[in-house]
Amino acid sequence: MRGWIHMIIDGHCDAILKLFLDPKTRFDSDRVKMQASAPLLAEGDVKLQLFAIFIDDEMPNHKFHHMLQYIDLFYEQVASHPEFHVVRSGQDLAAVMASSKRGALLTIEGADTLMGDPMLLRTVYRLGVRAIGLTWNYANWAADGANEPRKGGLTLLGRQFVKECNQLGMMIDVSHLSEKAFWDVAEASTKPFFASHSNAIQICQHQRNLTNDQIQELIRIDGIMGLNFVPYFVTNEKTVSIKDILKHIDHVCALGGVNHIGFGADFDGITQFIPGLLNAGDYQNLAEELYKRYQKEEVEGFLHKNWMRYLHKNLPKDRN
pLDDT digits (tens, 9 = 90+) for 211-260: 999 999 999 999 999 999 999 999 999 999 999 999 999 999 999 999 99
Separation between Cα atoms, residue 189 and residue 160, nearest integer Å: 10
Phi, psi of 53 (to 5 degrees): -95, 110
Confidence at residue 56, expressed as pLDDT on a 0 to 100 scale: 72
Separation between Cα atoms, residue 108 and residue 126, nearest integer Å: 14
pLDDT digits (tens, 9 = 90+) for 194-214: 999 999 999 999 999 999 999
pLDDT digits (tens, 9 = 90+) for 115-152: 999 999 999 999 999 999 999 999 999 999 999 999 99
| Average pLDDT of the chain to the nearest whole number | 95
Give the three-class secondary structure for 262.
strand
Q: How far apart are the two ends of the chain, measured CA to CA in Å?
A: 43
- How does DSSP assign 106-149, residue by residue? EEEE--GGGTT-HHHHHHHHHTTEEEEES-SSS--SSB-BTT-T
Under the banding of pLDDT at 50, 70 and 90, the label for residue 59 is low
Q: Is the pLDDT of residue 77 over 90?
A: yes
Confidence at residue 2, expressed as pLDDT on a 0 to 100 scale: 44
Separation between Cα atoms, residue 297 and residue 143, nearest integer Å: 38
Q: Is the pLDDT of residue 172 over 70?
A: yes
Where are the strands (E) in the chain, listed by range? 8-13, 46-53, 84-86, 102-109, 129-133, 171-173, 225-227, 261-263
> Which among 251, 273, 188, 256 has a CA at the least distance from the CA of 218?
256
- The mean per-residue pLDDT over the stretch 60-66 comes to 79
Q: Helix 283-293 and helix 242-254: axis angle, to 10°?
A: 50
Separation between Cα atoms, residue 154 and residue 184, nearest integer Å: 6
Residues 6+ apart with CB under 8 A from 198: 174, 175, 208, 209, 210, 225, 226, 227, 228, 233, 264
- The mean per-residue pLDDT over the stretch 293-306 comes to 97
Where are the strands (E) in 128-232, listed by range? 129-133, 171-173, 225-227
> Residue 190 carries which DSSP code?
S
pLDDT digits (tens, 9 = 90+) for 88-121: 999 999 999 999 999 999 999 999 999 999 999 9
Separation between Cα atoms, residue 40 and residue 25, nearest integer Å: 14
Q: Who has greater pLDDT, 129 or 1?
A: 129
Q: Is the pLDDT of residue 1 over 60?
A: no
Q: In the Cβ-directed half-sphere of 77, how many Cα atoms lie within 13 Å?
A: 25
Q: Is the pLDDT of residue 57 over 80?
A: no
Confidence at residue 319, expressed as pLDDT on a 0 to 100 scale: 72
Q: Are 293 and 242 in contact (CB under 8 A)?
A: no
Under the banding of pLDDT at 50, 70 and 90, the label for residue 60 is low
Separation between Cα atoms, residue 8 and residue 263, nearest integer Å: 9
Separation between Cα atoms, residue 269 and residue 73, nearest integer Å: 17
Confidence at residue 55, expressed as pLDDT on a 0 to 100 scale: 82
Separation between Cα atoms, residue 15 and residue 17, nearest integer Å: 5
- How does DSSP assign 59-76, residue by residue? SSS--HHHHHHHHHHIII
- The mean per-residue pLDDT over the stretch 167-196 comes to 98
Q: Is the pLDDT of residue 320 over 90?
A: no
Residues 6+ apart with CB under 8 A from 77: 19, 26, 27, 28
Confidence at residue 63, expressed as pLDDT on a 0 to 100 scale: 84
Q: How many CB atoms lie within 10 A of CB 106?
A: 24
